[in-house]
């Protein structure tokens, strides 16, 4: 199993941007998305630089831990840390998954189309980060 943490607030995949120059439309990725994708790749490579990309069917679990708002009461803070109050704010879970999976294409696995089982959760934590776990689905489980 591959498991690593991405420090900081969870990021999300931004929508593609478009510009026109000389009558041509150019598609590009916004800077914020590029920076977060780089952060995810670097977090993976620090621990698994020598690994070959996984092949076959893959399972991924992504746990997004958001910082607790500063204005939160002590009681609510305790509820958030215990997991009884969860974030229902942006980014959406699908956009969190998209940025993590796209970041790892070609390095952790050949392509994110290999992902056959995906779990994404959002919760609060004292220290914001994203936990990523990846493993190949064994033939016995298929």
Give the C-alpha distances (Å, rounded to integers) separating 49 from 4, 43, 59, 77, 109: 12, 10, 20, 37, 12
Q: Which residues contact 89 (CB under 8 A, 6 or more apart)?
A: 66
Q: Tens digit of pLDDT for each residue in 87-119?
A: 999 999 999 999 999 999 999 999 999 999 999
| pLDDT at residue 141 is higher than 70 | no
Percent of the chain whose pLDDT exceeds 90 = 80
List 19's β-bridge partners, or say none. Answer: 26
Looking at residue 142, its pLDDT comes to 42
Q: Which domains does the chain have, with CATH numbers?
A: 2-136 (3.30.1330.70)
pLDDT of residue 117: 97
pLDDT level of residue 28 (50, 70, 90 thresholds): low
Token pair 């952060």 is at which residue?
39
User: pLDDT tens across 65-81, in order?
Assistant: 999 999 999 999 999 99
Contact 90, 11 (CB under 8 A): no
């Amino acid at each position: 199993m591959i498991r690593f943490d991405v420090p900081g607030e969870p990021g999300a995949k931004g929508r593609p941007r478009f510009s026109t120059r000389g009558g041509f439309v150019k598609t590009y990725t916004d800077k914020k998305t590029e920076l977060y994708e780089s952060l995810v790749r670097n977090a993976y490579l620090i621990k698994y630089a020598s690994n070959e990309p996984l092949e076959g069917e893959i399972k991924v679990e992504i746990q997004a831990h958001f910082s607790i708002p500063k204005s939160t009461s002590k009681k609510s803070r305790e509820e958030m840390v215990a997991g009884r109050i969860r974030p229902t704010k942006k980014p959406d879970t699908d956009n969190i998954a998209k940025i993590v999976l796209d970041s790892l294409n070609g390095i952790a696995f050949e392509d994110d189309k290999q992902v056959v089982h995906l779990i994404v959760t959002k919760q609060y934590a004292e220290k914001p980060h994203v936990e990523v776990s990846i493993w190949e689905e064994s033939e016995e489980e298929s």
